[in-house]
Structure formats: C-alpha cells, structure tokens
Chains A and B, each alone.
Chain A
Amino acid sequence: MASKEELKKIAVKSVEDDKFRDAFEKDPIKAAASMGITLTEAQVKDIKAHASKVQAAGIRESKGFISSVLSSS
C-alpha cells in the first residue's frame, strides 16, 4: 500500500513532470511502479475515478469547439 509520503511524492512528480502526470492519469499502477511505489486496489480505483472526471471535464469544455472545427475541415 502506498503511504501518504509516497502519494505526496507522486503528487510532486505529477506537478513537476508533464509526461509523468499524463502517464499517471492514464495508468496509475504503471506510473507509480516506475517510482517504486505500489498502489492498492482501492487507491487505484479512486485515482482512476477522479482522473476520469478531470479528463471528462476538460473534454466537455473543448469538444463542442473542436467537433465544430473538424466537421468543417
């Protein structure tokens, strides 16, 4: 189980490293493992749920515009 300290390390790396943040949102288990950190099933479930919400919110904001542009190109 990832400790609070380890999760803070993940948070700091996510802020400092765009590639890591992107990878962590897509595959938290693999990204955490790259730092030698193991997440529990519950942690993974929670992180994935929140990452999906964050990504979906961004897509909602942009998709209207992008789809209108793509449909006209």
Chain B
Amino acid sequence: MPLPEVFHYIDQMAQLVAQNREQYTISFSGGEAFIRFPDLLEAVRYAKKNGAYHLSCMTNGFWGEDPVLAQEWANELNAAGLNLIGFSIDDFHQQFIPLDSVRNAFQACRNLGMEVTIKSVVTMKTRRLPAILGELGDLLLNYNVVVQEIACIPEGRASHTIGSDEWLYQKGIPEEPCMAGIMLVIFPDGSTFPCCGTGWNRWLILGNAHLEPIAELFQKAESKSLCVLLREKGPKYFVSFFQQAGHPLPSEGYANSCHLCGMILNHPQANSVVPQAILEWKIRRVQSVLGNFL
C-alpha cells in the first residue's frame, strides 16, 4: 500500500473520530510490515501526529538479526509513537526466521518498556505455546506479555500442506459471536472487510476504500445485516439453515468461529442458504421493532 494512501486513510480516521468524539487505533500488518520499515515508521509517526490512541504492528522478528540495528529500529518506532509490537512465534515462522533474531527484536522492545504480544499458530504436530515460550528463556521474566495460542485454520496454503490428522479442533460447533464490523481491514487493493478473520469473501466485503470514504465503510460495517448477525449471534446462527436446506454442516471439526464462518460463507450452497437466513433474521428483527403496528 503506497504511503500517501496510508496517510489518506489516517486523515479520514482522524476526521471521523473528531466528529464523533471517539478514539481510534491502527494496526499495521502484512505480510511483514517491517520489510518496509521506512514507510512503517512514517505511517506510525503520521498516525500519532493525527491523534491515534494506540498503534501496533505484527512482525515475525526477522529484523532482530543484528541486535544493534534491532535496537535502533525499536527506538525509532517507539519514539514515533508505536505502542505495541506483536511477534508471531511458532514452528511455521521458525522454519524461516531464526529464533535468535526474534529474541533480539523482543529484547529491544523490552529495553524500551514497549507492549509486546506473542501469537503462536499451532497444530497437533507443531510445538505448543509452553514449549515456544520456554525457548525464550528469561525474556519474559518479570515482564507483562499477552500470549495467544491460535489453532491453525485449514485455509489457503495450510489447507493442502497440513494433514487431516493435524488440526486442533474444538469440541462441537463454535458458539462465539464475533467482532465483525468493530474494525475495518483494508487491503492494498482497497477492498475493505469488517474483520481480520479468514472468511474474507464477497459476503463480507464492505466496499473499496479507494472509492468510498472510510466513514461510509464504517457505516456499512455497523448496519450490514451479516455483520450485525455475526456480532450478535456468531456464525453458528447459520448452521440450522444449512441443516433445514438439506446440506448439514459437520457437527464438529472447527478450529474456531472464524473457521466455521469461512466454511459457511464459502459453502457451495451459500448462495441459496445465506440470503434466506439473513432475510429471516431481518424480518424477525423488523417484526420485533414494529410488530405492534403491523
């Protein structure tokens, strides 16, 4: 994403929150945001100058290869206003990134007292979070770090490179509602989604930030039936509709609610089932609000 475009989105966010007397946060992710370090630095600086409340980015920590350079980069980002760096540490990343690099990058952030998080994507055959944390040695000693273990979802490359016996599925059908629409995820081509899950497809797309103002996209995220439904009831709402239509979904075998959401919205019968389920929800909702008068 070109830097002027990033600035343009930040300008719009700043204007929007000023109107609504709210605050905004931005998270920069990739790919790998640190590959374009000068742009990342400028973007953080610009967002901070324009009132961003909290700024974060995810990284694989490759930039810690040289501890001195890692400290310089961390210093610059910290001074620019970056609050949090999230590290992806797991077997998938460590195939390519030496853990020493990650340790150095982590240490550089720790030296500055920055917020740090660790996210590990895991399967049955990868190392689990305790083993990964153990490899960090004393880096976490007396330091507050949020760690998150995330079950790998069979989407994209993982769907054909990971064996069917390796997935870590939760029991039954995921019940959680989701956060669709409390954030905007903007891709370099401008396509904008209401979540950072894996179910990105035409059902969830809100529009294109190249063509529509951010305020309009937020408005859509707030009012779009599918987003409201996912926020209030979660993807499990759709399960009974697939059952009724004669296309029952598996009763288990889901990594999380994002996985279920992806299964539903990418289902071959989604074109017929999803609109009907949404229509029924809308009719019930409108009847609840206006029922006394109809």
Contacts and interface: CB of A to CB of B under 8 A. Distances in A.
- Give chain B's interface residue range (CB within 8 Å of chain A): 20 to 34
Interface residues of A, number: 32
A65 B289 contact: no
A61 B294 contact: no
B231 interface: yes
B285 A21 contact: yes
B283 interface: yes
Contacts of B11: none
A15 B283 contact: yes
A18 B231 contact: no
Contact of B146 (A4, A25, A53, A73): A73
B292 interface: yes
A14 B282 contact: yes
Contacts of A15: 279, 282-283, 286
B148 A72 contact: yes
B216 to A, nearest CB: 10
A45 B182 CA distance: 29
Interface string A10-37: 1100110011011111000000000000
Interface string B244-285: 000000000000000000000000000000000001001101
A50 B292 contact: yes
Q: Secondary structure at chain A's binding surface: helix, strand, loop or mixed?
A: helix
Contacts, number: 80
Contact of A61 (B224, B233, B289, B291): B233
Given A10-B290, A14-B286, A14-B290, A62 B231 contact: yes
Interface of A: 2, 4, 7-8, 10-11, 14-15, 18-19, 21-25, 43, 46-47, 50-51, 53-54, 57-59, 61-62, 65-66, 69, 72-73
29 contacts: A7-B290, A11-B290, A14-B289, A15-B282, A15-B283, A18-B223, A21-B223, A21-B285, A22-B223, A23-B223, A46-B292, A46-B293, A47-B290, A50-B292, A53-B288, A54-B289, A58-B232, A58-B233, A59-B232, A61-B177, A61-B232, A65-B234, A66-B177, A66-B179, A66-B182, A66-B231, A69-B179, A72-B148, A73-B146
Interface of B: 117, 146, 148, 176-179, 182, 219-220, 222-225, 228, 231-234, 279, 282-283, 285-294
